Structure 1
Amino acid sequence: MPLMTYLIFALLTLSLVLLDIWQTRGGQITIKKAAAWSVFWFVLAFAFAASIYVFWDFYAPNSDYTAEKATVSFITGYLLEKSLSVDNLFVFAIIFHQYQVPEHLRPRALLWGVIGALVLRAVMIVVGAQLLEQYHWLLYVFALFLIWTGIKLARENGDEELNPLPEKLIRKVAKVTDDFRENALIVKERGCWWVTPMMVVIGVIAFMDVMFALDSIPAIFAVTREPFLVLAANVFALLGLRSLYFVLQGMMDKFVYLKPALSFIMVFIGIKMMLVGTSWEIPTAVSLLVLLVTMSVAVFASMLKKTVVEQH
Protein backbone atom coordinates (compact mmCIF):
# COMPACT_ATOMS: atom_id res chain seq x y z
CA MET A 1 0.00 0.00 0.00
CA PRO A 2 1.60 3.34 -1.06
CA LEU A 3 2.51 5.73 1.76
CA MET A 4 0.64 8.49 -0.10
CA THR A 5 -2.62 6.54 0.30
CA TYR A 6 -2.22 6.50 4.08
CA LEU A 7 -1.28 10.19 4.17
CA ILE A 8 -4.34 11.18 2.13
CA PHE A 9 -6.56 8.97 4.30
CA ALA A 10 -5.05 10.49 7.46
CA LEU A 11 -5.95 13.98 6.17
CA LEU A 12 -9.45 12.77 5.33
CA THR A 13 -9.82 11.31 8.83
CA LEU A 14 -8.61 14.53 10.46
CA SER A 15 -11.07 16.56 8.35
CA LEU A 16 -13.96 14.30 9.34
CA VAL A 17 -13.03 14.45 13.03
CA LEU A 18 -12.98 18.28 12.80
CA LEU A 19 -16.39 18.14 11.10
CA ASP A 20 -17.70 15.98 13.94
CA ILE A 21 -16.32 18.47 16.47
CA TRP A 22 -17.99 21.35 14.61
CA GLN A 23 -21.41 19.68 14.46
CA THR A 24 -21.41 19.03 18.23
CA ARG A 25 -20.23 22.51 19.24
CA GLY A 26 -22.04 23.89 22.27
CA GLY A 27 -22.65 20.45 23.77
CA GLN A 28 -26.41 20.46 23.09
CA ILE A 29 -27.39 17.58 20.80
CA THR A 30 -31.00 16.71 20.09
CA ILE A 31 -32.09 13.22 19.08
CA LYS A 32 -33.27 14.59 15.72
CA LYS A 33 -29.88 16.14 15.00
CA ALA A 34 -28.01 13.05 16.20
CA ALA A 35 -30.19 10.81 13.99
CA ALA A 36 -29.53 12.98 10.93
CA TRP A 37 -25.78 12.88 11.51
CA SER A 38 -25.88 9.12 12.15
CA VAL A 39 -27.46 8.69 8.72
CA PHE A 40 -24.82 11.03 7.26
CA TRP A 41 -21.92 8.95 8.66
CA PHE A 42 -23.56 5.74 7.48
CA VAL A 43 -24.06 7.06 3.94
CA LEU A 44 -20.51 8.46 3.94
CA ALA A 45 -19.12 4.99 4.75
CA PHE A 46 -20.95 3.47 1.79
CA ALA A 47 -19.81 6.34 -0.43
CA PHE A 48 -16.25 5.45 0.57
CA ALA A 49 -17.03 1.81 -0.26
CA ALA A 50 -18.09 2.97 -3.74
CA SER A 51 -14.79 4.85 -4.09
CA ILE A 52 -12.92 1.64 -3.21
CA TYR A 53 -14.76 -0.16 -6.01
CA VAL A 54 -13.94 2.58 -8.53
CA PHE A 55 -10.43 3.61 -7.42
CA TRP A 56 -9.04 0.44 -5.84
CA ASP A 57 -6.15 0.30 -8.32
CA PHE A 58 -5.18 3.80 -7.15
CA TYR A 59 -5.57 2.98 -3.45
CA ALA A 60 -3.59 -0.26 -3.66
CA PRO A 61 -1.92 -0.81 -7.04
CA ASN A 62 -0.03 -3.90 -5.87
CA SER A 63 -2.79 -5.56 -3.86
CA ASP A 64 -3.89 -9.15 -4.52
CA TYR A 65 -7.47 -8.06 -3.89
CA THR A 66 -9.81 -7.28 -6.76
CA ALA A 67 -11.95 -4.16 -6.51
CA GLU A 68 -15.01 -6.33 -5.81
CA LYS A 69 -13.31 -8.29 -3.03
CA ALA A 70 -11.90 -5.13 -1.46
CA THR A 71 -15.34 -3.45 -1.47
CA VAL A 72 -17.13 -6.44 0.08
CA SER A 73 -14.35 -6.81 2.67
CA PHE A 74 -14.62 -3.14 3.63
CA ILE A 75 -18.41 -3.23 3.96
CA THR A 76 -18.30 -6.45 5.99
CA GLY A 77 -15.55 -5.08 8.23
CA TYR A 78 -17.39 -1.77 8.65
CA LEU A 79 -20.68 -3.42 9.63
CA LEU A 80 -18.84 -5.79 11.97
CA GLU A 81 -17.01 -2.92 13.72
CA LYS A 82 -20.23 -0.87 13.80
CA SER A 83 -22.09 -3.74 15.44
CA LEU A 84 -19.37 -4.28 18.03
CA SER A 85 -19.18 -0.54 18.71
CA VAL A 86 -22.85 -0.50 19.74
CA ASP A 87 -21.84 -2.51 22.81
CA ASN A 88 -19.27 0.21 23.53
CA LEU A 89 -22.12 2.70 23.82
CA PHE A 90 -23.67 0.75 26.68
CA VAL A 91 -20.36 0.91 28.56
CA PHE A 92 -20.04 4.66 27.86
CA ALA A 93 -23.54 5.13 29.30
CA ILE A 94 -22.48 3.26 32.46
CA ILE A 95 -19.36 5.44 32.75
CA PHE A 96 -21.37 8.66 32.40
CA HIS A 97 -23.87 7.47 35.00
CA GLN A 98 -21.17 6.25 37.39
CA TYR A 99 -19.31 9.58 37.32
CA GLN A 100 -22.44 11.72 36.94
CA VAL A 101 -21.17 13.47 33.82
CA PRO A 102 -23.46 16.43 32.95
CA GLU A 103 -25.35 16.08 29.67
CA HIS A 104 -23.64 19.07 28.02
CA LEU A 105 -20.16 17.66 28.75
CA ARG A 106 -20.79 14.20 27.31
CA PRO A 107 -20.07 15.13 23.65
CA ARG A 108 -16.56 16.27 24.60
CA ALA A 109 -15.94 13.13 26.68
CA LEU A 110 -17.10 11.00 23.76
CA LEU A 111 -14.83 13.00 21.43
CA TRP A 112 -11.77 12.16 23.52
CA GLY A 113 -12.94 8.57 23.62
CA VAL A 114 -13.24 8.37 19.83
CA ILE A 115 -9.85 10.03 19.26
CA GLY A 116 -8.27 7.64 21.76
CA ALA A 117 -9.89 4.68 20.04
CA LEU A 118 -8.67 5.84 16.62
CA VAL A 119 -5.06 6.13 17.81
CA LEU A 120 -5.08 2.87 19.78
CA ARG A 121 -6.67 0.89 16.97
CA ALA A 122 -4.29 2.31 14.36
CA VAL A 123 -1.34 1.14 16.48
CA MET A 124 -2.91 -2.28 17.08
CA ILE A 125 -3.71 -2.71 13.38
CA VAL A 126 -0.10 -2.04 12.38
CA VAL A 127 1.25 -4.35 15.08
CA GLY A 128 -1.37 -7.02 14.40
CA ALA A 129 -0.75 -7.02 10.65
CA GLN A 130 3.00 -7.40 11.17
CA LEU A 131 2.55 -10.21 13.69
CA LEU A 132 0.12 -12.13 11.49
CA GLU A 133 2.47 -11.78 8.53
CA GLN A 134 5.41 -13.23 10.49
CA TYR A 135 3.57 -15.63 12.80
CA HIS A 136 0.55 -17.17 11.09
CA TRP A 137 -0.22 -19.32 14.13
CA LEU A 138 -1.29 -16.16 15.98
CA LEU A 139 -4.41 -16.27 13.80
CA TYR A 140 -5.58 -19.30 15.80
CA VAL A 141 -4.76 -17.57 19.09
CA PHE A 142 -6.93 -14.63 18.01
CA ALA A 143 -9.67 -17.05 16.93
CA LEU A 144 -9.73 -18.82 20.30
CA PHE A 145 -9.72 -15.44 22.06
CA LEU A 146 -12.76 -14.31 20.06
CA ILE A 147 -14.65 -17.53 20.75
CA TRP A 148 -13.84 -17.27 24.47
CA THR A 149 -14.91 -13.59 24.48
CA GLY A 150 -18.19 -14.48 22.77
CA ILE A 151 -18.96 -17.19 25.31
CA LYS A 152 -18.00 -14.88 28.19
CA LEU A 153 -20.25 -12.14 26.79
CA ALA A 154 -23.18 -14.57 26.62
CA ARG A 155 -22.72 -15.48 30.29
CA GLU A 156 -22.59 -11.88 31.56
CA ASN A 157 -25.63 -10.74 33.53
CA GLY A 158 -25.08 -7.02 32.88
CA ASP A 159 -24.37 -6.15 36.52
CA GLU A 160 -20.58 -6.12 36.32
CA GLU A 161 -18.79 -3.08 37.65
CA LEU A 162 -16.29 -1.20 35.55
CA ASN A 163 -12.62 -1.72 36.31
CA PRO A 164 -11.55 1.15 38.60
CA LEU A 165 -7.84 0.79 37.73
CA PRO A 166 -7.54 4.02 35.65
CA GLU A 167 -9.21 6.08 38.40
CA LYS A 168 -6.93 4.58 41.06
CA LEU A 169 -3.82 5.36 39.00
CA ILE A 170 -4.91 8.96 38.35
CA ARG A 171 -5.74 9.56 42.01
CA LYS A 172 -2.33 8.19 43.04
CA VAL A 173 -0.39 10.68 40.91
CA ALA A 174 -2.64 13.76 41.06
CA LYS A 175 -5.23 15.59 43.10
CA VAL A 176 -8.76 15.41 41.70
CA THR A 177 -11.31 18.21 42.09
CA ASP A 178 -14.66 17.42 43.66
CA ASP A 179 -16.67 18.47 40.63
CA PHE A 180 -16.35 19.15 36.90
CA ARG A 181 -14.80 22.35 35.55
CA GLU A 182 -16.70 22.32 32.27
CA ASN A 183 -14.49 20.66 29.60
CA ALA A 184 -11.20 21.33 31.40
CA LEU A 185 -8.99 18.33 32.17
CA ILE A 186 -6.46 20.20 34.33
CA VAL A 187 -6.97 23.35 36.42
CA LYS A 188 -4.79 25.44 38.72
CA GLU A 189 -6.36 26.27 42.05
CA ARG A 190 -4.85 27.53 45.31
CA GLY A 191 -1.42 27.48 43.72
CA CYS A 192 -1.59 23.76 42.81
CA TRP A 193 -2.45 21.86 39.66
CA TRP A 194 -5.50 19.60 39.90
CA VAL A 195 -7.07 17.18 37.44
CA THR A 196 -10.84 17.22 37.04
CA PRO A 197 -13.33 14.32 37.07
CA MET A 198 -13.36 14.75 33.28
CA MET A 199 -9.77 13.48 33.24
CA VAL A 200 -10.87 10.44 35.26
CA VAL A 201 -13.73 9.79 32.85
CA ILE A 202 -11.37 10.07 29.85
CA GLY A 203 -8.95 7.69 31.56
CA VAL A 204 -11.67 5.10 32.12
CA ILE A 205 -12.93 5.49 28.54
CA ALA A 206 -9.36 5.10 27.18
CA PHE A 207 -8.91 1.94 29.26
CA MET A 208 -12.17 0.54 27.89
CA ASP A 209 -11.05 1.49 24.36
CA VAL A 210 -8.10 -0.86 24.80
CA MET A 211 -10.45 -3.65 25.90
CA PHE A 212 -12.74 -3.00 22.92
CA ALA A 213 -9.78 -3.03 20.52
CA LEU A 214 -8.63 -6.40 21.87
CA ASP A 215 -11.98 -7.78 20.69
CA SER A 216 -12.61 -5.87 17.48
CA ILE A 217 -9.16 -5.89 15.86
CA PRO A 218 -8.82 -9.70 15.84
CA ALA A 219 -12.44 -9.92 14.64
CA ILE A 220 -11.89 -7.76 11.57
CA PHE A 221 -8.64 -9.57 10.73
CA ALA A 222 -10.86 -12.61 10.18
CA VAL A 223 -12.65 -10.63 7.47
CA THR A 224 -9.57 -9.12 5.80
CA ARG A 225 -5.87 -8.81 6.51
CA GLU A 226 -5.45 -5.88 4.15
CA PRO A 227 -4.26 -3.20 6.65
CA PHE A 228 -5.78 -0.28 4.75
CA LEU A 229 -9.24 -1.88 4.68
CA VAL A 230 -8.98 -2.77 8.38
CA LEU A 231 -8.00 0.80 9.24
CA ALA A 232 -10.67 2.38 7.01
CA ALA A 233 -13.44 0.15 8.41
CA ASN A 234 -12.46 1.08 11.97
CA VAL A 235 -12.26 4.80 11.21
CA PHE A 236 -15.69 4.97 9.58
CA ALA A 237 -17.25 2.79 12.30
CA LEU A 238 -15.90 5.10 15.03
CA LEU A 239 -16.66 8.41 13.33
CA GLY A 240 -20.39 8.14 13.79
CA LEU A 241 -20.16 6.69 17.28
CA ARG A 242 -20.89 9.95 19.10
CA SER A 243 -24.03 10.72 17.10
CA LEU A 244 -25.21 7.14 17.47
CA TYR A 245 -24.79 7.36 21.24
CA PHE A 246 -27.24 10.26 21.49
CA VAL A 247 -29.73 8.42 19.27
CA LEU A 248 -29.57 5.29 21.40
CA GLN A 249 -29.07 6.68 24.93
CA GLY A 250 -32.79 6.69 25.61
CA MET A 251 -33.34 3.32 23.97
CA MET A 252 -30.44 1.26 25.33
CA ASP A 253 -32.55 -0.70 27.77
CA LYS A 254 -34.84 -1.73 24.89
CA PHE A 255 -32.20 -3.74 22.98
CA VAL A 256 -32.48 -6.80 25.23
CA TYR A 257 -31.12 -9.20 22.60
CA LEU A 258 -28.06 -7.17 21.65
CA LYS A 259 -25.60 -9.10 23.83
CA PRO A 260 -26.71 -12.55 22.60
CA ALA A 261 -26.38 -11.29 19.02
CA LEU A 262 -22.90 -9.87 19.63
CA SER A 263 -21.93 -13.08 21.42
CA PHE A 264 -22.99 -15.16 18.42
CA ILE A 265 -21.14 -12.83 16.04
CA MET A 266 -17.91 -13.10 18.07
CA VAL A 267 -18.07 -16.90 18.13
CA PHE A 268 -18.91 -17.02 14.41
CA ILE A 269 -16.02 -14.71 13.49
CA GLY A 270 -13.70 -16.80 15.68
CA ILE A 271 -14.74 -19.95 13.82
CA LYS A 272 -14.29 -18.14 10.50
CA MET A 273 -10.76 -17.20 11.55
CA MET A 274 -10.00 -20.81 12.51
CA LEU A 275 -11.04 -21.96 9.03
CA VAL A 276 -8.93 -19.44 7.07
CA GLY A 277 -6.75 -21.26 4.54
CA THR A 278 -8.71 -24.52 4.74
CA SER A 279 -11.16 -26.06 2.28
CA TRP A 280 -13.98 -25.03 4.67
CA GLU A 281 -13.04 -21.34 4.64
CA ILE A 282 -16.15 -19.14 4.98
CA PRO A 283 -16.45 -16.55 2.15
CA THR A 284 -16.59 -12.88 3.17
CA ALA A 285 -19.95 -12.47 1.41
CA VAL A 286 -21.41 -15.22 3.64
CA SER A 287 -19.98 -13.47 6.71
CA LEU A 288 -21.66 -10.24 5.63
CA LEU A 289 -24.99 -12.04 5.25
CA VAL A 290 -24.69 -13.72 8.66
CA LEU A 291 -23.83 -10.38 10.25
CA LEU A 292 -26.80 -8.56 8.70
CA VAL A 293 -29.28 -11.36 9.51
CA THR A 294 -28.05 -11.69 13.13
CA MET A 295 -28.33 -7.98 13.92
CA SER A 296 -31.67 -7.68 12.10
CA VAL A 297 -33.14 -10.59 14.06
CA ALA A 298 -31.81 -9.13 17.34
CA VAL A 299 -33.36 -5.72 16.68
CA PHE A 300 -36.69 -7.20 15.50
CA ALA A 301 -36.88 -9.59 18.48
CA SER A 302 -36.07 -6.75 20.90
CA MET A 303 -38.81 -4.56 19.40
CA LEU A 304 -41.27 -7.47 19.50
CA LYS A 305 -40.53 -8.16 23.17
CA LYS A 306 -40.94 -4.46 23.99
CA THR A 307 -44.34 -4.44 22.27
CA VAL A 308 -45.49 -7.57 24.13
CA VAL A 309 -44.36 -6.14 27.50
CA GLU A 310 -46.17 -2.84 26.86
CA GLN A 311 -49.38 -4.66 25.96
CA HIS A 312 -49.31 -6.52 29.26
Structure 2
Amino acid sequence: DTVDARSLPADQAGMAKALDENTVFGRVTPQQKRDMVGALQSHGHTVAMTGDGVNDVLALKDADIGVSMGSGSEATRAVAQIVLLNNSFSTLPSVVAEGRRVIGNITRVASLFLVKTVYSVLLAVLVVCFQIEYPFLPRHLTLLSTLTIGVPAFFLALAPNKERARPHFVRRVMRYAIPGGVVAGTATFVTYMIARHYYTGSGALDAETSSATLTLFLVSMWVLAIIARPYTWWRVCLVAAMGAAFLLVLVVPWLQEFFALKLVGASMPWTAVGIAAVAAVALEFLWRWVDRRFPCD
Protein backbone atom coordinates (compact mmCIF):
# COMPACT_ATOMS: atom_id res chain seq x y z
CA ASP A 1 0.00 0.00 0.00
CA THR A 2 1.02 3.59 -0.65
CA VAL A 3 1.51 5.74 2.43
CA ASP A 4 0.52 9.43 2.28
CA ALA A 5 3.64 11.38 3.22
CA ARG A 6 1.53 13.98 4.97
CA SER A 7 0.87 11.44 7.72
CA LEU A 8 4.55 10.74 8.38
CA PRO A 9 5.99 11.75 11.79
CA ALA A 10 8.03 14.94 11.76
CA ASP A 11 10.77 13.62 14.05
CA GLN A 12 13.66 11.63 12.56
CA ALA A 13 13.19 8.54 14.73
CA GLY A 14 9.49 8.24 13.86
CA MET A 15 10.14 8.75 10.17
CA ALA A 16 12.90 6.13 10.21
CA LYS A 17 10.51 3.63 11.77
CA ALA A 18 7.85 4.40 9.13
CA LEU A 19 10.42 3.93 6.36
CA ASP A 20 11.41 0.52 7.75
CA GLU A 21 7.78 -0.60 7.85
CA ASN A 22 6.66 0.72 4.42
CA THR A 23 8.09 0.91 0.91
CA VAL A 24 5.92 3.25 -1.17
CA PHE A 25 5.14 6.88 -0.25
CA GLY A 26 3.03 9.44 -2.07
CA ARG A 27 2.78 13.24 -2.06
CA VAL A 28 6.30 13.62 -0.71
CA THR A 29 7.58 17.19 -0.49
CA PRO A 30 11.18 18.15 -1.35
CA GLN A 31 11.99 18.68 2.34
CA GLN A 32 10.48 15.30 3.24
CA LYS A 33 12.66 13.61 0.63
CA ARG A 34 15.67 15.15 2.33
CA ASP A 35 14.38 14.09 5.76
CA MET A 36 13.87 10.52 4.50
CA VAL A 37 17.49 10.36 3.38
CA GLY A 38 18.65 11.60 6.79
CA ALA A 39 16.36 9.18 8.63
CA LEU A 40 17.68 6.18 6.70
CA GLN A 41 21.27 7.29 7.25
CA SER A 42 20.62 7.60 10.99
CA HIS A 43 19.91 3.83 11.01
CA GLY A 44 23.22 3.05 9.33
CA HIS A 45 21.88 2.65 5.80
CA THR A 46 23.80 3.68 2.70
CA VAL A 47 21.26 5.72 0.78
CA ALA A 48 21.00 6.18 -2.99
CA MET A 49 18.68 8.80 -4.45
CA THR A 50 17.52 9.16 -8.03
CA GLY A 51 15.74 12.12 -9.59
CA ASP A 52 15.51 14.47 -12.53
CA GLY A 53 13.78 17.58 -11.21
CA VAL A 54 14.59 20.56 -9.05
CA ASN A 55 12.45 19.08 -6.26
CA ASP A 56 14.97 16.26 -5.90
CA VAL A 57 18.07 18.44 -5.48
CA LEU A 58 18.07 18.57 -1.66
CA ALA A 59 17.77 14.79 -1.29
CA LEU A 60 20.29 14.12 -4.06
CA LYS A 61 22.83 16.35 -2.35
CA ASP A 62 22.47 14.64 1.06
CA ALA A 63 22.33 11.07 -0.23
CA ASP A 64 25.44 8.87 -0.17
CA ILE A 65 24.97 8.25 -3.89
CA GLY A 66 23.06 10.71 -6.06
CA VAL A 67 21.89 9.45 -9.48
CA SER A 68 20.48 11.90 -12.00
CA MET A 69 18.97 11.38 -15.44
CA GLY A 70 20.78 12.89 -18.38
CA SER A 71 17.56 14.58 -19.46
CA GLY A 72 17.01 16.03 -15.96
CA SER A 73 17.41 19.61 -14.87
CA GLU A 74 20.81 21.25 -14.77
CA ALA A 75 20.64 21.53 -10.98
CA THR A 76 20.13 17.79 -10.44
CA ARG A 77 22.97 16.92 -12.84
CA ALA A 78 25.25 19.34 -10.96
CA VAL A 79 24.74 17.77 -7.51
CA ALA A 80 24.54 14.09 -8.54
CA GLN A 81 27.56 11.78 -8.38
CA ILE A 82 26.30 9.71 -11.31
CA VAL A 83 24.49 11.04 -14.40
CA LEU A 84 22.75 8.46 -16.61
CA LEU A 85 23.26 9.99 -20.04
CA ASN A 86 21.07 7.33 -21.68
CA ASN A 87 18.29 7.80 -19.05
CA SER A 88 18.28 4.04 -18.38
CA PHE A 89 18.51 2.38 -14.97
CA SER A 90 19.82 -0.76 -16.70
CA THR A 91 23.23 0.97 -16.81
CA LEU A 92 23.60 0.95 -13.02
CA PRO A 93 24.56 -2.75 -12.56
CA SER A 94 27.56 -2.27 -14.85
CA VAL A 95 28.51 0.90 -12.94
CA VAL A 96 28.40 -0.99 -9.63
CA ALA A 97 30.39 -3.88 -11.12
CA GLU A 98 33.09 -1.51 -12.37
CA GLY A 99 33.35 0.14 -8.96
CA ARG A 100 33.69 -3.22 -7.24
CA ARG A 101 36.36 -4.28 -9.73
CA VAL A 102 38.43 -1.15 -9.17
CA ILE A 103 38.20 -1.23 -5.35
CA GLY A 104 38.80 -4.98 -5.08
CA ASN A 105 41.75 -5.02 -7.45
CA ILE A 106 43.39 -1.96 -5.90
CA THR A 107 43.16 -3.68 -2.52
CA ARG A 108 44.99 -6.75 -3.86
CA VAL A 109 47.68 -4.76 -5.64
CA ALA A 110 48.21 -2.39 -2.71
CA SER A 111 48.75 -5.36 -0.41
CA LEU A 112 51.45 -6.72 -2.72
CA PHE A 113 53.32 -3.43 -2.90
CA LEU A 114 53.10 -2.68 0.82
CA VAL A 115 54.39 -6.14 1.77
CA LYS A 116 57.55 -5.26 -0.18
CA THR A 117 57.75 -1.88 1.55
CA VAL A 118 57.52 -3.47 5.01
CA TYR A 119 60.15 -6.16 4.45
CA SER A 120 62.49 -3.69 2.73
CA VAL A 121 62.37 -1.33 5.71
CA LEU A 122 62.78 -4.21 8.16
CA LEU A 123 65.81 -5.61 6.30
CA ALA A 124 67.41 -2.16 6.13
CA VAL A 125 67.00 -1.70 9.89
CA LEU A 126 68.37 -5.19 10.69
CA VAL A 127 71.38 -4.70 8.41
CA VAL A 128 72.24 -1.42 10.15
CA CYS A 129 71.77 -2.90 13.61
CA PHE A 130 73.97 -5.96 12.89
CA GLN A 131 76.55 -3.99 10.89
CA ILE A 132 76.61 -6.38 7.92
CA GLU A 133 76.31 -6.11 4.13
CA TYR A 134 72.87 -5.74 2.58
CA PRO A 135 71.75 -9.21 1.45
CA PHE A 136 70.75 -8.24 -2.12
CA LEU A 137 72.21 -6.72 -5.25
CA PRO A 138 70.01 -4.43 -7.39
CA ARG A 139 69.61 -7.23 -9.95
CA HIS A 140 68.23 -9.53 -7.23
CA LEU A 141 65.61 -6.95 -6.30
CA THR A 142 64.75 -6.47 -9.98
CA LEU A 143 64.10 -10.18 -10.38
CA LEU A 144 62.09 -10.41 -7.14
CA SER A 145 60.01 -7.31 -7.85
CA THR A 146 59.25 -8.38 -11.42
CA LEU A 147 58.10 -11.91 -10.60
CA THR A 148 56.33 -11.33 -7.27
CA ILE A 149 54.91 -7.82 -7.75
CA GLY A 150 55.27 -6.21 -11.19
CA VAL A 151 53.87 -8.85 -13.55
CA PRO A 152 51.26 -10.26 -11.11
CA ALA A 153 50.04 -6.76 -10.19
CA PHE A 154 49.48 -5.94 -13.87
CA PHE A 155 47.11 -8.86 -14.35
CA LEU A 156 45.43 -8.60 -10.94
CA ALA A 157 44.72 -4.88 -11.44
CA LEU A 158 42.93 -5.43 -14.77
CA ALA A 159 41.11 -8.66 -13.94
CA PRO A 160 37.32 -8.85 -13.47
CA ASN A 161 36.27 -8.78 -9.83
CA LYS A 162 32.71 -9.06 -8.54
CA GLU A 163 33.52 -9.11 -4.82
CA ARG A 164 31.39 -6.74 -2.79
CA ALA A 165 33.23 -3.54 -1.84
CA ARG A 166 33.99 -3.27 1.89
CA PRO A 167 34.86 -0.24 4.02
CA HIS A 168 38.15 0.63 5.79
CA PHE A 169 40.45 0.28 2.77
CA VAL A 170 43.66 1.37 4.52
CA ARG A 171 43.01 -0.82 7.56
CA ARG A 172 42.30 -3.89 5.42
CA VAL A 173 45.45 -3.41 3.37
CA MET A 174 47.74 -2.72 6.34
CA ARG A 175 46.50 -5.64 8.43
CA TYR A 176 47.75 -7.97 5.69
CA ALA A 177 50.81 -6.02 4.58
CA ILE A 178 52.41 -5.61 8.02
CA PRO A 179 52.41 -9.29 9.11
CA GLY A 180 53.30 -10.40 5.58
CA GLY A 181 56.24 -8.00 5.36
CA VAL A 182 57.49 -8.79 8.86
CA VAL A 183 57.42 -12.56 8.25
CA ALA A 184 59.10 -12.23 4.84
CA GLY A 185 61.81 -9.91 6.16
CA THR A 186 62.50 -12.04 9.24
CA ALA A 187 62.72 -15.30 7.29
CA THR A 188 65.05 -13.72 4.74
CA PHE A 189 67.34 -12.29 7.40
CA VAL A 190 67.50 -15.60 9.28
CA THR A 191 68.50 -17.40 6.07
CA TYR A 192 71.12 -14.74 5.33
CA MET A 193 72.67 -14.98 8.80
CA ILE A 194 72.83 -18.79 8.63
CA ALA A 195 74.40 -18.60 5.17
CA ARG A 196 77.04 -16.15 6.41
CA HIS A 197 78.16 -18.68 9.01
CA TYR A 198 77.85 -21.63 6.60
CA TYR A 199 79.82 -20.31 3.63
CA THR A 200 83.47 -19.26 3.85
CA GLY A 201 86.17 -18.35 1.36
CA SER A 202 85.94 -16.73 -2.06
CA GLY A 203 82.49 -16.54 -3.64
CA ALA A 204 80.82 -16.76 -0.27
CA LEU A 205 78.97 -13.47 -0.72
CA ASP A 206 77.27 -14.67 -3.93
CA ALA A 207 76.17 -17.88 -2.22
CA GLU A 208 74.88 -15.99 0.82
CA THR A 209 72.84 -13.48 -1.19
CA SER A 210 71.51 -16.26 -3.44
CA SER A 211 70.19 -18.21 -0.44
CA ALA A 212 68.50 -15.09 0.92
CA THR A 213 67.00 -14.39 -2.51
CA LEU A 214 65.62 -17.93 -2.69
CA THR A 215 63.92 -17.61 0.70
CA LEU A 216 62.46 -14.19 -0.06
CA PHE A 217 61.16 -15.32 -3.43
CA LEU A 218 59.40 -18.37 -1.97
CA VAL A 219 57.81 -16.36 0.85
CA SER A 220 56.76 -13.61 -1.58
CA MET A 221 55.23 -16.25 -3.83
CA TRP A 222 53.18 -17.51 -0.91
CA VAL A 223 52.03 -13.95 -0.24
CA LEU A 224 50.99 -13.72 -3.89
CA ALA A 225 49.20 -17.07 -3.66
CA ILE A 226 47.21 -15.84 -0.65
CA ILE A 227 46.34 -12.48 -2.21
CA ALA A 228 45.24 -14.16 -5.45
CA ARG A 229 42.47 -16.07 -3.66
CA PRO A 230 39.76 -17.13 -4.45
CA TYR A 231 41.48 -19.11 -7.16
CA THR A 232 40.40 -19.23 -10.78
CA TRP A 233 42.20 -21.05 -13.58
CA TRP A 234 44.05 -17.94 -14.75
CA ARG A 235 45.16 -16.97 -11.23
CA VAL A 236 46.59 -20.44 -10.68
CA CYS A 237 48.37 -20.17 -14.03
CA LEU A 238 49.70 -16.72 -13.07
CA VAL A 239 51.24 -17.97 -9.81
CA ALA A 240 52.62 -21.09 -11.52
CA ALA A 241 54.13 -19.02 -14.35
CA MET A 242 55.99 -16.77 -11.90
CA GLY A 243 57.41 -19.83 -10.13
CA ALA A 244 58.42 -21.38 -13.46
CA ALA A 245 60.16 -18.15 -14.50
CA PHE A 246 62.30 -18.16 -11.35
CA LEU A 247 63.12 -21.84 -11.86
CA LEU A 248 64.17 -21.00 -15.41
CA VAL A 249 66.61 -18.40 -14.06
CA LEU A 250 68.11 -21.03 -11.74
CA VAL A 251 68.67 -23.66 -14.43
CA VAL A 252 69.87 -21.51 -17.38
CA PRO A 253 73.58 -20.72 -16.90
CA TRP A 254 73.66 -17.29 -18.54
CA LEU A 255 70.57 -16.19 -16.57
CA GLN A 256 72.25 -17.37 -13.37
CA GLU A 257 75.26 -15.25 -14.22
CA PHE A 258 73.22 -12.23 -15.24
CA PHE A 259 71.15 -12.24 -12.02
CA ALA A 260 74.14 -13.29 -9.86
CA LEU A 261 72.38 -16.35 -8.47
CA LYS A 262 74.73 -19.09 -7.25
CA LEU A 263 73.23 -21.83 -5.09
CA VAL A 264 76.25 -23.70 -3.74
CA GLY A 265 75.87 -27.21 -2.35
CA ALA A 266 72.62 -28.79 -1.22
CA SER A 267 72.39 -28.18 2.52
CA MET A 268 72.07 -24.39 2.49
CA PRO A 269 69.59 -24.13 -0.41
CA TRP A 270 67.36 -26.72 1.25
CA THR A 271 67.70 -24.86 4.54
CA ALA A 272 66.51 -21.74 2.72
CA VAL A 273 63.52 -23.68 1.36
CA GLY A 274 62.73 -25.03 4.84
CA ILE A 275 62.80 -21.55 6.39
CA ALA A 276 60.51 -20.32 3.62
CA ALA A 277 58.10 -23.21 4.33
CA VAL A 278 57.97 -22.31 8.03
CA ALA A 279 57.36 -18.66 7.08
CA ALA A 280 54.52 -19.72 4.76
CA VAL A 281 52.81 -21.62 7.59
CA ALA A 282 53.28 -18.59 9.85
CA LEU A 283 51.71 -16.36 7.18
CA GLU A 284 48.65 -18.59 6.90
CA PHE A 285 48.21 -18.64 10.66
CA LEU A 286 48.74 -14.87 11.07
CA TRP A 287 46.40 -13.83 8.26
CA ARG A 288 43.63 -16.15 9.43
CA TRP A 289 44.07 -14.85 13.00
CA VAL A 290 43.99 -11.25 11.79
CA ASP A 291 40.74 -11.93 9.88
CA ARG A 292 39.11 -13.18 13.08
CA ARG A 293 40.67 -10.70 15.48
CA PHE A 294 40.36 -7.51 13.43
CA PRO A 295 37.35 -7.80 11.12
CA CYS A 296 36.81 -4.82 8.81
CA ASP A 297 33.28 -5.48 7.57
The two structures have a TM-score, normalised by structure 1, of 0.31
Q: Which has the larger radius of gyration?
A: 2
Larger RCO: Structure 1 or Structure 2 (Cα < 8 Å, ≥ 6 residues apart)?
1
Q: Normalising to structure 2: TM-score of the pair?
A: 0.32
